[in-house]
Amino acid sequence: MDAAAQADATTRPEPPATLEEFLSGVSTRAFRFAELGLRHRDDALDAVQDAMTKMLGYRDRPAAEWTPLFWSVLRSRIIDVQRRRTFRLKWLTDARDPDGEEIDWADEATPDPSRAHDGREAWSRLAAALRGLPARQREAFTLRVLEELDVEATAKIMGCGEGSVKTHLFRAREALQKQLEEFR
């Protein structure tokens, strides 16, 4: 081995022996990367945790594949969180974007101005009704109805039993129905 190759081999760290060592070594950098992309500490922690959990399925892959695979998974997770956040913000806002401009929720191709107005009003009422729900009911409704997750996944996400998810969802639907009765 020539001197340059020997020097390069001594400065390059040894690859981790286990996936756990790899994840432990990359966790701080991954968090910083996610936090820059998401600008929210809790979302960044969730994204990194999700990426690490997904990596457990790739434990049998060669260690040389872990680094690019992990960063691809994390990047995809960050993009997913950003998209969901945008979607949720549209659902839960009072029909205004971050710059304060009114968001037109009605179909722009609608020729009937009264229909467009009714659509905006209905959307504003729905967003207000969702904000008025207790947190657990809002979580259950959002995960089951808006995110279309099954009961089992929702229960895991909420940290409760499947029966609790069903109860929270039932109560959320009941409350929303009462609040939005005039729009039926």
Residue predicted with more confidence, 127 or 1: 127
The reported pTM is 0.46
Structural domains counted in the chain: 3
52, pLDDT greater than 90: yes
Mean pLDDT of the chain: 78
Residues 152 and 116 in one domain: no
**Does 152 map to a domain?**
yes
Q: How far is residue 155's CA from residue 174's CA, in Å, rounded to a whole number?
A: 20
> Is residue 9 domain-shared with residue 78, that is, in the same domain?
yes
* Sign of the Cα pseudo-torsion (48, 54, 59, 65, in order): negative
Same-domain status, 153 and 118: no
More confident residue, 73 or 120: 73
Q: Which residues pair with 96 in a beta bridge?
A: 102
pLDDT greater than 60 at residue 7: no
Residue 66: inside a domain = yes
In this structure, are 7 and 46 located in the same domain? yes
pLDDT of residue 143: 73
CA–CA distance from 7 to each of 13, 15, 39, 100 (Å)?
12, 17, 39, 58
Q: Among residues 92, 54, 86, 46, which one has the least CA distance to residue 70?
A: 54
CATH of the domain at 138: 1.10.10.10
pLDDT tens-digit readout, 130-178 = 878 887 888 788 778 866 778 888 888 778 899 999 999 999 999 988 8
Asked if residue 128 belongs to a domain, the reply is no
Q: Which domain holds residue 66?
A: 3-89
